[in-house]
């Protein structure tokens, strides 16, 4: 870590205000385009984690008793503030992550859509009722808040992914502690500030920064009721195992290896456009990136490569605010080198390197964490680049002899986040959507991210826990079901005595 005396040091956000870190451990926040450290972030001590959880615990009784309609009104004000600060949030996101401003704006907008969904919480919390389930007995259900909830979020969407979690948690009457990525934490802090400005009471939404020690303190804190996580599969599995062992409800979204199946009848220009956005947008640093194109038939694969190669070679790469830039740098030097290592591995294992972006240099930003788009052809399921999530702008092309082999490839991979098929054949599309063992499926849509009022989540080792993110599943995750069975003695029969005292007798 660099000398903390020469650069800005960020804060935590506890009990409604920015709070300076009290520990002696810090992380570096880089400018990904320039390569230099631009700020430092304090790593929360166990005492600071406890202070954030206690602030949330103190705020919980009053917030959980606040009528849902009043919570919704505050969220409506919050939504308006987020909209008016959208460009500011996008710039914070882009400056620390490296993604282009257009990408960042789009991700902030998607987050705001979750807030809009959460504004409908009075309708979403409605239970069920049946009267006279037995003689004079009624039964009804309620959904009530869990308590203090925690969100642990990744570096790739520092505004959007936190908003997958805390707006719904707060709408349901919970309080929240957010632990954003230590690589780009500024968005999380600003989101909390705006929440207080909108009228969310102090302590309802808190932010603590940190690394694994901070995460472990949250996972094991006795006053935390639930944990929501997005990140890599190994860490998702760890969070789920550790949190559930500590008695908490956990949803943990892991990694992905999203396949796009290209049928021989597909519109190849449409496929090419789709892959440019899906494989190389946000420099491939997203769990819904398409990292495997499965071409059905040799002719299909050859046609795809012929169209893709010049498009990938001509991608404009540069800093997030550069004019016409289509792809920014990766988030850190270590991650860029890891992605390069995957390309090295693919070549060593026999893949054809059709486009090599490993040596890309951006004039004026020679120390930036840039890598160009890469295409590996003739990748096989035995290769490391096929088995593992790369999280960078690397597309693997797998050649399948027929449709059945393509479906089998999708289903046999251990990760089941997203998949898509491009075809003009409705029968093939329908069969694909029914048979693939995948949580989110696209038909002629390369990145099948559900809208805010649906739920986001994969299958297999892409999701640990029983609930997906946001939408109806998010409401179910952040509430617990209570069923009431009631019977009242009749008070209207003749001669009933109520014994109410008169006001003068009080």
Mean pLDDT over residues 369-394, rounded? 97
Domain ranges of the chain: 46-254+462-484, 258-443
Mean pLDDT over residues 211-224, rounded? 98
For domain 258-443, the CATH architecture is 3-Layer(aba) Sandwich (3.40)
How far, in Å, CA of 303 to CA of 344, rounded? 25
> Please, which pLDDT band fits residue 243 given cuts at 50, 70 and 90?
very high
Q: How far apart are the first and last CA of the chain?
A: 69
Q: Provide CB contacts within 8 A for 467, sequence distance 6+.
A: 251, 455, 457, 473, 474, 476, 477
Q: Provide CB contacts within 8 A for 386, sequence distance 6+.
A: 257, 292, 379, 380, 396, 398
Burial 388-426 (b: 16+ CB within 10 A, else e): bbbbbbbbbbbbbeebeebbebbeebebbbbbbbbbeee
Closest to 344 measured CA to CA, from 334, 331, 357: 357
In percent, the amount of the chain with pLDDT more than 70 equals 96
Longest dimension (CA), the chain: 94
Closest to 163 measured CA to CA, from 456, 470, 402: 470
Mean pLDDT over residues 300-308, rounded? 98
How far, in Å, CA of 236 to CA of 255, rounded? 8
Q: Is 385 a residue whose pLDDT tops 50?
A: yes
pLDDT in tens, 396-440: 999 999 999 999 999 999 999 999 999 999 999 999 999 999 999
How far, in Å, CA of 383 to CA of 388, rounded? 9
pLDDT in tens, 457-467: 999 999 999 99
Residue 490 has a pLDDT of 76
Residue 1 has a pLDDT of 52
Fold (CATH) for 46-254+462-484: Aldehyde Dehydrogenase; Chain A, domain 1 (3.40.605)
Residue 506 has a pLDDT of 38
Q: Is 126 a residue whose pLDDT tops 60?
A: yes
Length of the chain as a residue count: 506
Burial 194-208 (b: 16+ CB within 10 A, else e): bbbebebbebbbbbb
Residue 3 has a pLDDT of 58
Positive or negative, the CA dihedral 257, 261, 267, 268 is positive
Q: Three-state SS for 129?
A: strand
- Give 395's strand partners: 375
Indicate the Cα dihedral angle 424, 428, 431, 436, nearest 10°: -90
Q: Is 494 a residue whose pLDDT tops 70?
A: no
Mean pLDDT over residues 336-344, rounded? 97
> Please, which pLDDT band fits residue 492 given cuts at 50, 70 and 90?
low
pLDDT in tens, 152-199: 999 999 999 999 999 999 999 999 999 999 999 999 999 999 999 999
How far from chain centre, in Å, is Cα 321? 24
What phi, psi does 359 have (nearest 5°)?
-105, 15
Residue 370 has a pLDDT of 97
Number of CB atoms found within 10 A of residue 244's CB: 16
Kindly state the tokens that stand for 288. 């819904």
Q: Is 2 a residue whose pLDDT tops 70?
A: no
Contact call for residues 41 and 182 (beta carbons, < 8 A): yes
In percent, the amount of the chain with pLDDT more than 90 equals 95
Q: Is 504 a residue whose pLDDT tops 50?
A: no
- Give 224's strand partners: 148
pLDDT in tens, 391-403: 999 999 999 999 9
What phi, psi does 205 have (nearest 5°)?
-130, 120
Q: Is 246 a residue whose pLDDT tops 80?
A: yes
Mean pLDDT over residues 27-51, rounded? 97
Closest to 467 measured CA to CA, from 244, 217, 140: 244
Mean pLDDT over residues 29-55, rounded? 97
- Give 453's strand partners: none
Contact call for residues 342 and 384 (beta carbons, < 8 A): yes
pLDDT in tens, 148-160: 999 999 999 999 9
Mean pLDDT over residues 134-139, rounded? 92
Q: Is 486 a residue whose pLDDT tops 50?
A: yes
Closest to 446 measured CA to CA, from 264, 293, 253: 293
Closest to 89 measured CA to CA, from 283, 165, 81: 81
- Residues that are catalytic: 287
Residue 501 has a pLDDT of 53
> Please, which pLDDT band fits residue 4 given cuts at 50, 70 and 90?
low
pLDDT in tens, 72-100: 999 999 999 999 999 999 999 999 999 99
Residue 363 has a pLDDT of 94
Distances (CA, A) of 310 to 305, 317, 372, 493: 9, 15, 13, 86
Q: Is 503 a residue whose pLDDT tops 60?
A: no
Residue 499 has a pLDDT of 56
Q: Provide CB contacts within 8 A for 261, sequence distance 6+.
A: 294, 296, 400, 403, 406, 407, 410, 419, 420, 421, 422, 423, 432
């Amino acid at each position: 870590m660099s000398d903390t005396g020469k650069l800005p040091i960020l804060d935590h956000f506890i009990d409604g205000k920015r709070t300076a870190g009290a520990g002696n451990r810090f992380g570096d926040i880089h400018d990904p385009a320039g390569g230099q450290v631009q700020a430092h972030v304090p790593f929360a001590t166990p005492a600071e984690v406890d202070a954030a959880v206690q602030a949330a615990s103190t705020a919980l009784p009053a917030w959980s008793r606040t009528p849902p309609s009043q919570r919704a009104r505050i969220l409506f004000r919050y939504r308006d503030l987020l909209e008016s600060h959208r460009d500011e949030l996008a710039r914070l996101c882009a400056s620390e992550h490296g993604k282009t401003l257009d990408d960042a704006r789009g991700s902030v907008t998607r987050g705001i859509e979750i807030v809009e969904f959460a504004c409908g919480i009075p309708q979403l919390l409605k239970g069920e009722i049946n009267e006279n389930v037995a003689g004079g007995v009624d039964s009804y259900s309620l959904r009530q808040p869990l308590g203090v909830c925690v969100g642990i979020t990744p570096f790739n969407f520092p505004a959007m992914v936190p908003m997958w979690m805390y707006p719904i948690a707060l709408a349901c009457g919970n309080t929240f502690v957010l632990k954003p990525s230590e690589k780009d934490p500024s968005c999380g802090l600003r989101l909390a500030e705006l929440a207080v400005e909108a009228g969310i009471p102090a302590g309802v939404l808190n932010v603590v920064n940190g690394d694994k020690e901070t995460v472990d303190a949250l996972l094991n804190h006795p006053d935390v009721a639930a944990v929501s996580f997005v990140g890599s599969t190994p860490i998702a599995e760890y969070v789920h195992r550790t949190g559930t062992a500590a008695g908490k409800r956990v949803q943990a979204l892991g990694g992905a290896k999203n396949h796009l199946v290209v049928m021989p009848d597909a519109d190849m220009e449409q496929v090419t456009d789709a892959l440019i956005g899906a494989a190389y947008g946000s420099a491939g640093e997203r769990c819904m990136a398409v990292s495997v194109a499965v071409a059905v038939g040799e002719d299909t694969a050859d046609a795809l490569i012929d169209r893709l190669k010049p498009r990938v070679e001509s991608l404009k790469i540069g800093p997030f605010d550069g004019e016409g830039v289509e792809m920014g740098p990766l988030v850190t030097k270590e991650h860029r080198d890891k992605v390069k290592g995957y390309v090295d591995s693919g070549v060593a294992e026999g893949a054809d390197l059709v486009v090599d972006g490993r040596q890309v240099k951006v004039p004026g930003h020679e120390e930036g964490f840039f890598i160009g788009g890469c295409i590996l052809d003739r990748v096989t399921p035995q290769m490391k680049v096929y088995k593992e999530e790369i999280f960078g702008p690397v597309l693997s092309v797998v050649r399948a002899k027929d449709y059945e082999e393509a479906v089998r490839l999708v289903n046999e991979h251990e990760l089941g986040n997203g998949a898509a098929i491009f075809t003009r054949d409705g029968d093939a599309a329908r069969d694909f959507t029914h048979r693939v063992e995948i949580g989110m499926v696209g038909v002629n849509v390369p990145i099948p991210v559900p809208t805010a009022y649906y739920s986001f989540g994969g299958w297999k080792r892409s999701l640990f826990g029983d609930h997906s993110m946001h939408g109806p599943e998010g409401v179910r995750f952040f509430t617990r079901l209570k069923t009431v069975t009631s019977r009242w003695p009749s008070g209207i029969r003749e001669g009933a005595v109520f014994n109410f005292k008169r006001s003068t007798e009080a």
